Chains A and B, each alone.
Chain A
Amino acid sequence: MSRKVLGKRIFFIVSLFIIAGILSILFVRASDQPEGKKHSGKDQEQHEDWEEFVMEEEYNAGQSIIEHILDSHEWHIIDYKGADGKQHHVSIPLPIILYHEGKLYAFWSSKLQHGSYEGFSIAHEGKNKGKIICDNKHSNKNTEASTLPIDLSITKNVLAIFISGFILCIIFITIARTYKKRKSEAPKGLQSLLEPIILFIRDNIARSSIGEEKYERYMPYLLTLFFFILFSNLFGLFPFFPGGANVTGNIAVTGVMAVFTFLITCFSGNRNYWQHIINSPSVPWWMKFPLPLMPIIELLGTLTKPFVLMVRLFANMIAGHIVILGFISLIFIFGNINIYLGYGVSVLSIFFVIFISLLEILLAFIQAYIFTLLSALYFGMATEEHD
C-alpha cells in the first residue's frame, strides 16, 4: 500500500520535473531569441523591440540553434525587454584566460560584451566566428589584421564539466561514506538508487567484457566514465543554469574521453594484442609481402575505435539537442509568418519536444552505457589471453 503511494508520488514528482523542464526549455529558448539579433546586429544602439524584431527581421533558425549548442564565453540566461524599452541581456560572466605572444591575460567575459578589451574581442563573423581574436593594434610583430590567441578560458562547457565533476564527487564520496558506515548491510537511500547501476557496470559491462581476473583494474575508469557521461547528458537536458551546456555534444569533450580510452587500451595491451596487430600469426606469410597490409589496417583500426566512440556520443547528443531546438524554432518560424499561427504551432511543437525530451533521457542512459561498454570491450580485447 505505502509502496504504491510512494510510487505514485515519485511518478508525480518525476513528471512534474519533466514538465517543468520542458516548460523551461520553451521559456528560455523563447526568451533567448533576441540574442540572435544581438549578435547579428553589431550596433548596440540598434535596440528594436521584440515585436518589431519578429515582424521585420528574418528569424534565422539554423543560426539560433547552432548558437545554442556551441560553447560560449558567457553563460547566457535570459533576454528581456525592460521598462525602458531596451533589451536586457542577462548572463553569468565567465573568466577568460588567454595566452598571447608570451603573455597571460585573464579577465571576465562581461568586459567583452561591449566590444573589445585590451585588443581582444569575440569575432562575430568569418571563419573564426565565436572565437576570441586579437586585433593586433598593440602588437608590432604581427602584420596580420587579427590573430587567434591560445584560449584557455573557463567557457560555459568547461564550467559545466567542473559542475558535473563536482556533483559527481559529492554524490559518490557521500555514498562511499554511507558504504563504510553500513558495511554488509542492505543499501539505503541514494546508495540503493545508484548501487544497481554500479553493479550493472561491474557485472554486465566490466566482468563480461574484460574478464573475471582483470576487470577490477578498469572499474574506476569505467564507473567515472559512465557517470560523467550520464550526468553531463542529463545536465545538458536541463535548460537552466547548472544544466543547459551541451557538454557531451561537444567534440572536444567526447574526444578527450575517447583519447583516455585509447591510451588505456594501448597501455594495457599485452604481448598478444600487439602481436596480433603488428604481425598476426593467422595471416599467411605471402600476405605480408610486398606491402604489410594487415598491420596498417589493424593500426588504423585501433585509431578508428576511439574515433567512432568520440563521434557517436557527440553526434547523438548534438542531434537530440538540434531536434529539440528545431521544434522550438518552428514556433518562431511560424510566428514570423503570423503570430497566431505561431501560438497554434506551439501546441504541436511542445508535444514533439516532450516526446523528444523523453527520448533524450533514454538516450542519455544508452549513450553512457554504449561508451562505457565499448571502452570495456576494447580493454577486454587488449588484455585477452590467447592460448
Chain B
Amino acid sequence: MELVNPGIGLIFWMTLAFAILLFILGKYAWKPIMKILKDREEHIEKSLHAADLAKEEMKTMEFNNEQLLKQAKSDRDVILREARKIKESIIEEARIKANIEVDRIIENAKERIENEKMAAMTELKNQIAQLAIEVAEKILKKELSGEQKQQDYIKQIIDKAQLN
C-alpha cells in the first residue's frame, strides 16, 4: 500500500522544514507575540486595578465632599440664624434707643415749647403792660391836659382821700 508507506524524501524534508519553521516562528513570531500578549494582559489587569483604586478614591472623595458640603450647609444655617438673631437684637435695640431718643426729643420740645410759651407770655405781658402804660399815659395825658382838669383831678383824689 502506497498510502501507508511513507517516503524517505518526504520524511527528510518534512523534518527539516518543520524544524526550521519551529525555529523561525519560535524566535521571530511566537516569542514576541506571547511576550506582548502577556504584557498587555498585565497592563490591562494593572489598568483595571488602577481604575478600581481610582473609583475607590473617588468614592471617598465624594464622601468627603458631601461631608464638607453638609458641614458648610450647617455652618451657613448657624451663621444665618445668628445673623437673624443679631439683626433682630439690633433692630430691637435701635427701636428702644429711638424710643428713648424720641421721648427725649419730645420732652425737649415740650420744655422748649413751655419755655417759649413762657417767654411769649412774659413778652406778651410786658407788651400789654407797656401798652397799658402807654394807654394810661395817653389817657392821663388826655385827661390831664389843661390846668383845670389837673386841678379837678387832684381835687377829686383829695376828696376821695379825705373821705377815707
Binary CB contact string for chain A from 180 to 213 against chain B (1 if under 8 A, 0 otherwise): 1001100000000001001100100000000000
Q: How far is the CA of A69 from the CA of B1 in the complex (A)?
A: 13
Cβ of B34 and Cβ of A154 under 8 Å apart? no
Q: Which residues of B contact A173 (CB under 8 A)?
A: 24-25, 28-29
Cβ of B10 and Cβ of A179 under 8 Å apart? no
Binds A, one of B36-44, B94-102, B118-126: B36-44
Chain B interface helix/strand/loop/mixed: helix
The reply to whether the CB of A14 lies closer than 8 angstroms to some CB of chain B is: no
Cβ of B29 and Cβ of A172 under 8 Å apart? yes
Q: How far is the CA of A180 from the CA of B28 in the complex (A)?
A: 11
Cβ of A216 and Cβ of B34 under 8 Å apart? yes
Which of A27-80 touch B at CB < 8 Å? Answer: 66, 69-71
Size bracket of the B interface? 35 or more
Q: Measured between C-beta atoms, what is the minimum distance from B98 to chain A in Å? A: 79
The reply to whether the CB of A102 lies closer than 8 angstroms to some CB of chain B is: no
Q: Measured between C-beta atoms, what is the minimum distance from B155 to chain A in Å? A: 149
Residue of A nearest to B7 (CB): A252
Q: Which residues of B contact A179 (CB under 8 A)?
A: 32-33, 36-37
The reply to whether the CB of A328 lies closer than 8 angstroms to some CB of chain B is: no
Cβ of A158 and Cβ of B37 under 8 Å apart? no
Residue of B nearest to A310 (CB): B6
Cβ of A158 and Cβ of B40 under 8 Å apart? no
Contact of B3 among A195, A224, A251, A257 (CB under 8 A): A251
Q: How far is the CA of A257 from the CA of B11 in the complex (A)?
A: 10
Contact of B20 among A154, A165, A221, A255 (CB under 8 A): A165
Binary CB contact string for chain A from 140 to 162 against chain B (1 if under 8 A, 0 otherwise): 00000000001111110110011
Cβ of B17 and Cβ of A165 under 8 Å apart? yes
Cβ of A155 and Cβ of B10 under 8 Å apart? yes
Interface residues contributed by chain A, number (CB under 8 Å): 50
Q: Measured between C-beta atoms, what is the minimum distance from A189 to chain B in Å? A: 14
The reply to whether the CB of B129 lies closer than 8 angstroms to some CB of chain A is: no
Cβ of B2 and Cβ of A151 under 8 Å apart? no
Q: Which residues of A contact B25 (CB under 8 A)?
A: 168-169, 172-173, 220, 223-224
The reply to whether the CB of B69 lies closer than 8 angstroms to some CB of chain A is: no
The reply to whether the CB of A274 lies closer than 8 angstroms to some CB of chain B is: no
Q: Do A251 and B4 contact each other (CB < 8 Å), given the known contacts A176-B33, A179-B33, A224-B21? A: yes
Q: Measured between C-beta atoms, what is the minimum distance from A314 to chain B in Å? A: 8
Closest 10 CB pairs of A and B: A252-B6, A220-B26, A172-B29, A252-B10, A158-B13, A256-B14, A220-B30, A179-B36, A184-B43, A165-B21
Q: List A residues at the B interface (Cβ < 8 Å).
A: 66, 69-71, 97, 129-131, 150-155, 157-158, 161-162, 165, 168-169, 172-173, 175-176, 179-180, 183-184, 195, 198-199, 202, 216, 219-221, 223-224, 228, 250-253, 255-257, 259-260, 318
A224-B21, A256-B18 given; 17 more Cβ-contact pairs under 8 Å: A151-B7, A153-B9, A161-B17, A161-B18, A168-B21, A169-B28, A172-B25, A172-B28, A175-B33, A176-B29, A179-B37, A184-B39, A202-B37, A216-B34, A252-B10, A256-B15, A260-B18
Q: List B residues at the A interface (Cβ < 8 Å).
A: 2-15, 17-18, 20-22, 24-26, 28-34, 36-37, 39-40, 43-44
